Structure 1
């Protein structure tokens, strides 16, 4: 199998789904509890991508309030038909409601509609528009026959009513004996046959891509005797790319086929703080079946569309725009405006609020994905803390696993939260006036440092073991975020913390 060794979307970008409109490609990924959610990316060559917007960028579209870590938005599918973009997804463990929904837009950059709820059990809905004018929706649900056993169901989709209709058909329950988590299904009609692409084996080391085909959309489906058509389950934890699966297919205008998929790049063993990333792999057809890699011998094949790189994004955000850039995210739905770029121009101001990163809430935290094993991130902080208040940099996996480099009323602190237990790893001096804060990562090790004099940086504590920032230790499905944070830890406060810039640089 030939797989591009570097992700096309590095960092936490799992469950990619892709569609093509003319010479333009659009892609969306899962975001779970993060807001804005469901980022939409645009490419003209399948290799270089830029973010066009988010499908979920208004609090009223869909409620993420109270969703636990790795709850929220699972495995979206993006499709285009008759001038309209459709996005289907599942809200998992929602406090107000849970289940499938569909959103529409005339422009993938937005605005997108509010979420229209759809019937159906389980997760991972996907849409398919047939050439006879009918549309269909597939999804995944557990059967209860044994732990992890699931089946793929199909119902007709009415694009005008944005609703499922008609009878249900069960299409598939896995390619191998004892299969678990047959999910992430996508339907295609290629020639006169229907192809069902699924993920299988769970999203860790045993992840894989399976395919089945049928003469009718409702089946019966026969599995490819060469399944899985893509997996690294046989390569072991020493391979630089593991957990390959959850693919979606796209055809270029000149008839090439490619797959986008998720995979992980561990920093050692199967541990990966970056989370599941989006990769690209070539697809050819043999004996009527898709083959990942096929006859391509080059280790890094190139898609046929001519290269189309986008302008580079600055490594330093000066907070001089009217809104935060698209790389910034928050936890769950913000119900109040606790951040400002206008109150002190050229600064991101965070209100100091009772909510903390330890709560299943919407704290005053704005972060971006860690996208490289080796990176440096720096900021400057202007903050006068009262008792129990703190502000600074945070490395976040979830509410029970994170690392803080913060200024408190007692001075600088490096704090680790692991399995819900907080430990002060190092103490620094009390600081009056602005202070610069930074993390430098090399693989699994994250070194905190601070600066109160121009050009002079002082380490704070020993390097922190970043294994606690991996889903293999912390659980769940997300990758690490690094960002800016302020809290009063449950107390009322009118204070604020100002950040004049934030810089993230791969090393």
Structure 2
């Protein structure tokens, strides 16, 4: 029996997705920027329902990422299966192009191997041709390379150990395709195809290039625009073909503070050989996104993305990421619950601030409207120790328990990065809860990211609302996140906090 789905299929920030089919399994990766572990790996059996099963990169191969680097880190990975192994290529735009591989995507991946140490080469995608030769295509970041709107092709060793030449620009989109990037290279019916987004994240479109020869000449057609739909900037993703010949295209939509959420579009190959993505928009072959559609001709395998966490093993689940390369001493042994050490707050511009604090443990916003609740048992040792529930972006706020001069207080720490890049942060003290052994903190996120914090002693009694409300904001290239942390205003503290659970309830 046919079944139907609604877009977005995943209302969470999985930017720059790429996917493959391996037998009956579908695998997807996405950008992770400075959040670690990096490159989330998602799995599906029906292309509609996904779950997070692994991360490719436990930590970034540079000490630069031992501190918070908003917007940097891993950009636009690509995923392929070749010669019995899964391959992920990615760029760290200030460092170079890297590759990891594995025979088992659910196990450990190889350490990142640097194919090219260079700034500004981004969005790499490998391609193994029928003659055994291997290639790499990539785009450029103007901010690092001084080059933009161009795609470069380089021959690569078949084992992906090294690049074999200096590369050649095979397409220049400067006059017609501004911000051309994110290329994905395929072969179909003895023709080469490049799927590449253009026009920018918020208002862009999906372009497809076509050629009989890898080095061109390449013909181009814009195949997916917003059209009359509410889905702005539908582009940057991957094409996958089912065993029955059906084609589908997965892409993102930039939704501001919610990040880059995922949509699935039907894709049809037309009589002229070009693909049509979504539903027809006009006579030129352009498509526009569908909001409801018949699902892929596959059995439905319902599953949900991980959000809530009981921390039963004393470890965070796969949905959690740190803000920088993790340190082993951020987590203390012991369960049930999660014990976080009061590691130092970061010093940014002479101010101790959450924004640059690496040990924030965060996960993506899961829906337009939702609530989060956590229970904290503090074991603070000195003034300046604190722990709390945080909503994080370039505008951020945290409802906290903190110790000051022998008293246990509830406070609201909030801040923002202004248009000049400067940091402003304030701490408002709300209530004295001295003698409280356990406290429950919560936040209700409504439309447009308006959040209302509340708290109560232990898990009973009346909830106390916190004013003022908080307006969440996106981070650097990422959506807003929510999570927990423990910290101290001192370089050394023996304090910690135990988080019994973290409950997420979508509305």
Provide TM-score, normalisation by structure 1.
0.87
Partner of 1:364: 359
Label 1:35 to 1:167 Cα distance change in 2 as closer, same or farther (>3 A): closer
Partner of 2:260: 276
Partner of 2:482: 482
Q: Does 1:222 align with 2:219?
A: yes
1:465 to 471, 480, 495: 471
**Poorly superposed stretches of 4+, deviation over 6 Å:** 59-63, 295-298
Label 1:152 to 1:60 Cα distance change in 2 as closer, same or farther (>3 A): closer
How far 1:169 moved relative to its partner?
Answer: 2.1
Q: Distance in 1 between matches of 2:65 and 2:130?
A: 36
Matches of residues 14-413 of structure 1 in structure 2 within 5 Å?
A: 14-57=15-58, 64-66=65-67, 68-93=69-94, 98-119=95-116, 122-141=121-140, 149-160=148-159, 162-166=161-165, 168-174=167-173, 177=175, 179-204=177-202, 206-224=203-221, 227=222, 229-232=223-226, 240-265=230-255, 272-286=256-270, 287-294=272-279, 299-310=292-303, 312=304, 316-321=308-313, 323-340=315-332, 342-343=333-334, 345-356=335-346, 358=353, 363-385=358-380, 386-398=382-394, 401-410=395-404, 411-413=409-411
Q: 1:436-461: CA deviations, max 9, x gaps?
A: 00000111210000011605211011
Query: Which region of structure 1 is more displaced relative to structure 2, 254-263 or 356-365?
Result: 356-365
Partner of 1:492: 492
Whether the 8 Å CA contact 1:15–1:278 is kept in 2: the answer is no
Partner of 2:349: none
Whether the 8 Å CA contact 1:7–1:279 is kept in 2: the answer is yes
User: Any stretches of 5+ residues in structure 2 without a counterpart?
Assistant: 281-286, 347-351, 418-422
How far 1:309 moved relative to its partner?
Answer: 2.0
How far 1:178 moved relative to its partner?
Answer: 5.3
How far 1:428 moved relative to its partner?
Answer: 2.5
Whether the 8 Å CA contact 1:41–1:51 is kept in 2: the answer is yes
Q: Distance in 2 between matches of 1:294 and 1:178?
A: 24
How far 1:8 moved relative to its partner?
Answer: 2.7
Q: Distance in 1 between matches of 2:50 and 2:63?
A: 26
Label 1:109 to 1:159 Cα distance change in 2 as closer, same or farther (>3 A): farther
Label 1:315 to 1:298 Cα distance change in 2 as closer, same or farther (>3 A): closer
Partner of 1:6: 7
Partner of 1:447: 452
User: Any stretches of 5+ residues in structure 1 without a counterpart?
Assistant: 266-271
Provide TM-score, normalisation by structure 2.
0.87
Whether the 8 Å CA contact 1:5–1:241 is kept in 2: the answer is no
Q: Distance in 2 between matches of 1:231 and 1:370?
A: 26
